[in-house]
Structure 1
Amino acid sequence: MDSNPDTRNSLIVRMHDRDDNEAWAEFVQIYQPLVERFIQKHRLQYADAAEVTQEVLSRVARSIESWDPDHDKSSFRGWLYRITRNLTIDFLRRKQNEQHRIPIADPAVSQIADPGKVDSMEFQAEYERQLFQWAAERLKSSFKPVNWQAFWLSTIEGVPVEQVAEQLEIHCGAVYVARSRIMARMSKLIQQRLNETNLSLCEKDQGSND
């Protein structure tokens, strides 16, 4: 898999086609958990967080064609972060007006309304965790179960290689080989998605003109 993919096939460009169900399904798989966790962090109950998440996904669907990375001076992730933050603020303020249960100076509103760099960095860190999980789910079936277990136990769970080899009844060298191969595939797939969500307007134009 090419780590610098042809932008004609990139996820963000493909999402301009509302009939590309595969692209939209992949977008939801990667980004919906990210958006939900960010919203829940700001003290929304599960049902409310689910409602705001659907608003975010709907806004992206309506606005993706008009998103201009050069004009916005940000990546797709930065654009998504602003949509998520703004719609969460809107929801909290609606609760204030409709139910009068949240004080005007409630920190749930003031914190997200003026998040600073910390909130944005947390969103980015959560995105990277979610992207890793997505890549793992996507690649797991591509490897023999014993090799995947060797990778997961030694790399993710931190089990010593010697113990993994004994548990799986394989040589230590096989653990190292499995770990190296899977990490290489994981890194390439993750980098591909990172490249696509950093897509520039120039790249979008190239994709549409090819």
Structure 2
Amino acid sequence: MPGQETSQTLLLKLQSQNDEEAWARFSKEYRPFIYSILKHYQIAHEDIEDLQQDILVKVWKALPDFIYQVERCRFRTWLSRVSRNHCLNFCQSKYQRKIKAEVPVELYDKSTQPEIDTLAEEEWQVFIADKAWTNIEKLFTDKQKEVFLLVSKGKHQSEAAERLGLEVNTAYVYAKKVKDVYMREIRRLNAELDG
């Protein structure tokens, strides 16, 4: 959104731990990303909210000492590692206490760093794509959105046009218009939220 600071500026504000508005924005922006990581590890729905809050508190406590070095590690990578480690500690603790819901040991025994980084990247791309779509979908008519969604699912513009009762050229224009705005929003969000 125009006028909002980049994640680096937001991180600097959060490091003082005195800016409630910055913290509210941070929590709103990154909570869905943390949620997607927890869902990947098959955390029960009733545990997710508590774990999200625990992770956000852990991040808040770590931020004063956090030194953002984009050349070494993206912020989202650090956040995904904090989330993953907290999640795995929770799973291991739950498993060791032999709670009714058995936690698959392979979730925390066989994860390698490249796999974790790949997961974080995949979850980030889904997170950004969903957020971008939510931000732009109100800019377009239902027909424009339907054409774009059909084309993005592999349908040809002519098929989308026929299905929706449009001229083929109109379908091309609709698909391109929505795609251009969508891709711009994805780039903007990546720059804003990932520094």
TM-score range, shorter chain: 0.7 to 0.9
Per the alignment, residue 26 of structure 2 pairs with 24
Classify 1:191/1:19 alpha carbon distance in 2 versus 1 (closer, same or farther; 3 Å). same
Q: 1:65 Cα deviation (Å)?
A: 4.9
Classify 1:45/1:193 alpha carbon distance in 2 versus 1 (closer, same or farther; 3 Å). same
Query: How much identity, in percent, do the aligned residues show?
Result: 17
Return the alpha-carbon distance in structure 1 between the equivalents of residues 159 and 71 of structure 2: 50
Classify 1:24/1:35 alpha carbon distance in 2 versus 1 (closer, same or farther; 3 Å). closer
Return the alpha-carbon distance in structure 1 between the equivalents of residues 40 and 188 of structure 2: 28
Give the TM-score normalised by the residue count of structure 2: 0.79
Return the alpha-carbon distance in structure 2 between the equivalents of residues 26 and 80 of structure 1: 14
Per the alignment, residue 42 of structure 1 pairs with 41
| 2:188 equivalent to 1:189 | no
Per the alignment, residue 120 of structure 1 pairs with 117
1:55-204 correspondence to structure 2 within 5 Å: 55-70=54-69, 73-96=72-95, 99-101=97-99, 106-112=105-111, 115-155=112-152, 157-199=153-195
> What are structure 2's unaligned runs of at least 5 residues?
14-18
Q: 1:183 Cα deviation (Å)?
A: 1.3
Q: 1:33 Cα deviation (Å)?
A: 3.4
Query: Which amino acid in the other structure matches residue 188 of structure 1?
Result: R
| 2:50 equivalent to 1:51 | yes
Partner SS for 1:33: helix
Contact 1:14 1:20 in 2 (8 A): yes
Per the alignment, residue 207 of structure 1 pairs with none
Contact 1:153 1:159 in 2 (8 A): yes
Aligned length: 187
Higher relative contact order structure (alpha carbons within 8 Å, sequence separation ≥ 6): 1
Contact 1:42 1:108 in 2 (8 A): yes
Q: 1:71 Cα deviation (Å)?
A: 8.7
Classify 1:25/1:39 alpha carbon distance in 2 versus 1 (closer, same or farther; 3 Å). closer
> What are structure 1's unaligned runs of at least 5 residues?
200-210
Q: 1:138 Cα deviation (Å)?
A: 1.0
Q: 1:125 Cα deviation (Å)?
A: 1.0
Superposition CA RMSD, Å: 3.0
